Structure 1
Amino acid sequence: MQFFRRALAAYLRGNGVERVNSELWWGIDDLGSPAYISGSFLDLFATKKRESPDMSELHHECGVAAIYHLSGRGRSQMCTSDGPRHISRLLPRMLLDIQNRGQLAAGMTTFDPDRPSLLRTLKDVGTVTEVFRLNHRAKCESLMRQLAGRAAIGHVRYATCGQDDRSYAQPFERKHIHKRKWFSFGFNGQLANYGLLKERLLADGDHHLTLDTDTEIILHEFGRLLSQSPGRIDWIDVLRQTTAGFDGAYSIALLTAEGEMIVARDPLGIKPMCYVNDGPLFAAASESVALLNLGFSDDQIKSLPPGHAIIIDPEDGFRLEQFAQTKSPAHCFFEWIYFANVASTLDDRSVYLSRTHLGEELARAERELGRVPLDDEDTIIVPVPDTSKAAADAMAYKLSIPCREGLIRNRYAGRTFIEGGRARKAKAATKYTPLREVLEGKRVILVEDSIVRSTTMNVLLDRIREVGGAKEIHVRVACPPIVAPCFYGIDMSTIDQLIAPKYFGVSGNLTDEAQQKLADDLGADTLRYLPVSAIARAIGLEESSLCRACVTGNYPTECGQHLYQIALDNRGSKIDAKRTYEQLAAALQQS
């Protein structure tokens, strides 16, 4: 077997594989022999060097999911035929439903009290289908049997450039000889004071960090407190002490080797977390759609209150407790506008209805503007697939204008390796195909959910004219201009990344002249954004309960505000986001 492994490793590296994942060698004995090895099988054991994320799209950091079937309390109807001890089989299904939140890496940790490895973690770079081999029955079945457990947590991840290797995939597992100190967790969010926490952790000289991520900071902070606890762990107290020093956004799913599960949400509720408890079964996920598709009803699914945690104990069952004082919530408005699955409901607000209300706001603004002939049969509304469709449909309905599918998105293109001088145009061509039979000779009102970097927008507009044959293009954005960075888990950490400040300043002053200048530069006939005030109306929440930092420059946390000031000072200096966090740490230590 050793000879076979060395030979296989050599073969993989010779075929462009960057690294062999030793953690997955155990699968060879169960899934095949040397005679069975094939190209698709090799993918299970190797991580290929992947391209950088497509920066024309806005990426979320991640999503989490969890499921637990308590023993001795009956059997949930959600169980598979294998019973409660295999409830972990449902976890990949849940992750598929939140795949929109992260497509770079996926993983899960399971708990089984009857096996030597009480916690077992599988994670890798790739989609949920790739990591868990969902497109290959035999390989998937073998993995599911080895990962079988009555409790499981899972994670899907996107990453900023330079963090696309397996070591950053979650869940993060901390093994320990004492079961109460052995745990694994997944994290959705970002700590704005990451740099300061890092400096403080390293200051004692006893700690060493191997990764440049706040997830490792959280791992060590949990581990430090657990090491100080001589007896049974009170996880509410651990959360209370640990998160007291956190500034930022976090939703956490954690699983221990004693069979405890903890699901927690930050005091501001910036990141979403939904859950359901039905008899012996508990399930949680970043979005409600993952629970809805398990078979639960909308009435059963709840949002975890900010500053609260759910503890599932094998003996005591389910309990909900508060671990942090809460202020006015600051839910990320971008969840409803862009990130979340359109079928989800977050904090009692439907994503679909929020987007339709945005479309109604666009319709109202269009009537007031009066720039486009709305009663002309040549005028049509076209959404940029896929997240703007609900807004476009609603706008069209209100204006009595046809909404047409004039752009077809290639759902199988993914990222590409296209290079060369025409790379940007080639990428846009790969991603969207204009339909000439829909667009030719038409006055197109193009509805987009948001514009962050505009990397491909001008190319897309050119193709709508050149390939589609549109005679006019009027861009309508169902969002205010993004004028400030996000320090809470969205990969836009510097002002220079953003297109809007170049035209509207950091205040987002929406003058007609500035919007027309942007339209001219992008290649549109006109362009209009929604005002900031439209967000709360569309979602149906108070303005004070939403985080709108990226469109107002007003951040809900102290370190967020400090980082923004540093970002303003660094504007135009080409200082990257990492350096911004380091500057904050230095400034706070001196103060």
Structure 2
Amino acid sequence: MSDPISHECGIAVVRLKKPLGYFYQKYGNALYGFDALQAIMTKQRNRGQDGMGIGCCKLDMPPGLPYMFRMRSTESVERIGQVFDDERKEFKRIARRIDKQRKDERDQEGKEFVSFEDDPEAIKREFEMAGEIYIGHLRYGTSGDFGKGALHPYMRRTTWPTRTLMVMGNFNLTNTRELNEIMMKRGQHPVFGTDTQSVLEEIGFQLDEAHTQLYHELRDSGIPGVDIPHHISERLDVTSVVKESAKRWDGGYSIVGVIGNGDLFAMRDPSGIRPCHYYENDEIFAIASERVALMSVFGVSEEDIHELPPAHVAVIKAAGGMTIEKFTEPRDFKPCSFECIYFSRGNDSAIYHQRKALGEQLVPQVVKAIDNDFEHTVLSFIPNTAETAYFGFLDGLRKSRRVVVKEALMDMLKRGEFDEAKLDDLVLRNWPRGEKIALKDIKMRTFIAQETGRDALVSGSYDITYGVVTSKDNLVVIDDSIVRGTTLKKSLLRILARTNPKRIIVCSTAPQIRYPDCYGIDMAELGKFIAFQAAVSLLRERGMAHIVRETYLACKEELRKPKEEMRNAVKAIYAPFTDEEISARIAQMISPEDTPWHGTVEVIYQTIPDLHSALGAEYGDWYFTGDYPTPGGFSVVNQSFILYFEAKDGRAHEALL
């Protein structure tokens, strides 16, 4: 993806089914769960850039000893290993202290010496990150601030384990303001800022209600006070707590929670927008945002990994029993298309083939654009993440050319003639030619950089292959998607122009991004989308600027309606134009300026039907079509246009907090 957008967060969970001593005996490692958590998070480091957090819960800790811990860091996710190593250094420091103490006791009292590292019970008692439940989070912020305090997991401490709560997730809720108003009507004092805080407080409230009811029942039945916590823990219905909490949630989410008594839950939104996969054997239960992370870490096949169904919650009680139940009614299944287009790691077999299919679907448009002139066309890709789609694109081109060659041969046979010169033209001089034109010579995640310095960073991190493209050639490059076009205009197209082609054709495997996302992707500011800018430019050029103000008034009118009755008023901005007209204007807008190159730029976008042909009809397309899977999406898109019209910065879902 040439533009610097990023996306939803990554989640990782490891729940041990055996005591730490079991893993010490079998693997020689009492910190097996801690190491597994690191491995899953490392495999998903592509999913977060703002920081990371880990949490640990210890089962069956005696009163007086802490049982729940968390650690958060704003270190780059590329330094995950260093963050975990810092914790291991603390483990070694504790080991040295306790071993010295034990050696002194052996010398003074003749006690048998057992090294701390060979004592799983002591490890669990003394080292914060030694427990049976581990959760990990990689954050890319799409609401709130970006400091350490905004990193997951969020935590709510009480003196009751069955009311203490730790929550993390990969999500955006569209109706946080409504949820905060409900809390205030109860008499609560919510802290505005993020939907994560709202989620934590709502689950916490419902947990308090369930806990209090159980406490009074048990106390009134004569159960001794010291025994009440155990009975509450056994009887606590976590599924019901989740069901009550999520009644009014609108958005896309995969949320994980740990209750202090050791109950663990993971839930997925009713439309299945955000991904959630799990793996289970007789030793562990594990969760990740991406299937291949679990496959790689535990060395298992695709068939061993399961997807948590939309509108369902998986609950593992402290005693070990597991259930997966509905907490609400599912909506139409609408998983996020961008997981396939860009976000998830491409070594997942399904995503690999989907990306290849996205590239192949572009073939007819490209063949038409170059007028079948492959002799004077060089095919390539930029950036590196588009490489898989490029392979599919080449496969599709070869198939297309084989059909042409076959038809020509059949025609020759039918006429009883064999034209060797024509065959040479078809096969030798007019066969698709793929080259690696842009090379990333510095391994840096350029989308992390602040926008003010990003263009120079991109230019410095790419080099080009000289002497391959001529001034008579079309240069066709595959890109994952074009969101804002800024990087293409200011950096990448200027780099490609150094090859001096006759024409540069940029092909996006995604359709035109016209509408904001509000379910976890950082594509929320409508005015920054190049497709939106192109449509507004055409409206003004053709004397239809009144549509902009009319749309503003229509958006305000929509926001007065109940959200279930809202429609997307912003569609009026695009209605007067064909996709081709908008693509042509985008090409004009991103063409590099102040360069010695005199060629032209053309932009080809994936069509909506071809997107669904490549990915599957069920995949979400609201960022392209404006057809949102939840009512809250329509409030966000209308609010986003209002912010644009009033020249106010910020994400629409934050304005609705």
**Whose Rg is larger?**
2
- 1:87 maps to which residue? 33
- Give 3-state SS (helix, strand or coil) of 1:187's partner: strand
2-structure distance, mates of 1:174, 1:327: 31
Identity %: 25
Aligned residue for 1:261? 264
| In 1, Cα distance between equivalents of 2:91 and 2:333 | 40
* Partner Cα distance (1:256, 1:79) in 2: 28
Give the Å deviation of 1:455: 1.6
Q: Are residue 272 (structure 1) and residue 272 (structure 2) matched?
A: no
Counterparts of residues 163-182 of structure 1 (less than 5 Å): 163-182=145-164
Q: Distance in 2 between matches of 1:328 and 1:415?
A: 33
Summarize the Cα distance change of 1:327–1:137 in structure 2 as closer, same or farther, 3 Å threshold.
Answer: closer
1:126 matched to 2:75? The reply is yes
In structure 2, C-alpha distance between the alignment counterparts of 1:402 and 1:475, rounded to whole Å: 16
Unaligned runs of 5+ in 1: 1-53, 586-591
Shift of 1:197: 1.4
Matching residue within 455, 461, 469 for 2:486:
455
| Alpha-carbon offset, residue 91 of structure 1 | 0.6
| Structure 1 contact 563–581 (Cα < 8 Å) conserved | no
Give the direction of change, closer, same or farther, for the CA distance of 1:291–1:418 in structure 2 (3 Å limit).
closer
Structure number having the greater helix percentage: 2
Is residue 70–residue 317 contact of structure 1 (8 Å, CA) maintained in 2?
no
Q: CA deviation at 1:411?
A: 2.0
1:525 is paired with a residue whose SS is strand
Q: What secondary structure sits across from 1:343 in the alignment?
A: coil
The verdict on how the C-alpha distance between 1:293 and 1:201 changes in structure 2, with shifts beyond 3 A counting, is same
Cα 1:472–1:341 shift into 2, 3 Å: same
What is the RMSD computed on CA atoms of the aligned residues?
2.9
Label 1:164 to 1:90 Cα distance change in 2 as closer, same or farther (>3 A).
same
Q: Which amino acid aligns with 1:191?
A: L
Contact 1:99 1:127 in 2 (8 A): no
Tell whether 2:18 aligns with 1:66.
Answer: no
For the structure 1 residues 388 and 291, does the alpha-carbon distance in structure 2 shift closer, same or farther, using more than 3 Å as the test? Answer: same
- For residue 361 of structure 2, what is the amino acid of its counterpart? E
1:412 aligns with 2:462: no
Aligned equivalents of 2:10 and 2:174: distance in 1?
18
Alpha carbons of structure 1 residues 522 and 312: separation in structure 2 relative to 1, 3 Å: same
1:420-451 residue CA offsets vs partner (Å, 9 max, x unmatched): 8xx45413213432332555655310111111
| Contact 1:548 1:554 (8 Å CA) reproduced | yes
1:265-284: CA deviations, max 9, x gaps? Answer: 11111101011111231111
- 2:82 counterpart letter in structure 1: R
1:417 positional shift: 7.0
* 1:3-18 pair list within 5 angstroms: none
Find out whether 1:314 has 2:314 as its counterpart: no
Match status 1:189 vs 2:165:
no
Matching of residue 554 in structure 1 with residue 557 in structure 2: no
Assess, with a 3 A threshold, how the Cα gap between structure 1 residues 241 and 330 changes in structure 2: closer, same or farther. same
Could you tell me how far apart the structure 1 residues matched to 2:449 and 2:20 are? 52
The code of the aligned residue for 2:638 comes to Q
| 1:332 aligned partner | 336
Q: How does 1:536-551 map to 2 (within 5 A)?
A: 536-539=612-615, 541-542=616-617, 545-551=618-624
Q: Name the CA distance, whole Å, in 2 between partners of 1:305 and 1:418.
A: 37
Note the 1:143-222 alignment, pairs <5 A.
146-160=128-142, 163-209=145-191, 212-222=193-203
Give 1:46's aligned residue: none
**2:434 alignment counterpart:** 403
Change (3 A) 1:122 1:503: same
Query: CA contact under 8 A between 1:418 and 1:427: conserved in structure 2?
Result: no
Aligned to 1:16: none
Counterpart selection for 1:299 from 303, 306, 328: 303
> Deviation of residue 80 (structure 1)?
4.8
Q: What is the alpha-carbon distance in structure 2 between the residues aligned to residue 87 and residue 554 of structure 1? A: 42
Which residue does the alignment assign to 2:465?
Answer: 435
Matched, 1:351 2:424: no
Task: Report how many residues are paired.
Answer: 517
* Local SS of the residue matching 2:54: strand
| Pairing partner for 1:515 from 579, 583, 594 | 583
Distance 1:138 1:568 in 2: 46
- The SS at the match of 2:319 is coil
Cα pair 1:465 1:471 within 8 Å, conserved: no
Q: Which has the higher strand share?
A: 1
Q: Which amino acid aligns with 2:510?
A: C
Q: CA deviation at 1:114?
A: 6.2
Please state if 1:567 is matched with 2:567. Answer: no
Match of 1:383?
A: 381
Shift of 1:334: 1.4
Contact 1:171 1:184 in 2 (8 A): yes
Moved more, 502-511 or 287-296: 502-511
Deviation at 1:77, TM superposition (A): 12
So what's the TM-score if we normalise by structure 1?
A: 0.81
Between 1 and 2, higher relative CO (CA 8 Å, sep ≥ 6) is seen in: 2
Classify the secondary structure of the residue corresponding to 2:188: coil
Residue of structure 2 in register with 1:227 after alignment: 208
Assess, with a 3 A threshold, how the Cα gap between structure 1 residues 170 and 480 changes in structure 2: closer, same or farther: same
Q: Which residue of 1 aligns with 2:44?
A: 98
Q: In structure 2, how many angstroms separate the alpha carbons of the residues matched to 1:127 and 1:78?
A: 35
Helix, strand or coil at the partner of 1:403: coil
Within 1, Cα distance between the matches of 2:243 and 2:307? Answer: 20
Structure 1 residues 99 and 444: CA distance shift in structure 2, 3 A: same
Cross-structure match for 2:604: 528
Q: Deviations over 1:349-376 (max 9, x none)?
A: x111111001110113323x24354421
- Does the 8 A contact of 2:534 with 2:586 survive in 1? yes
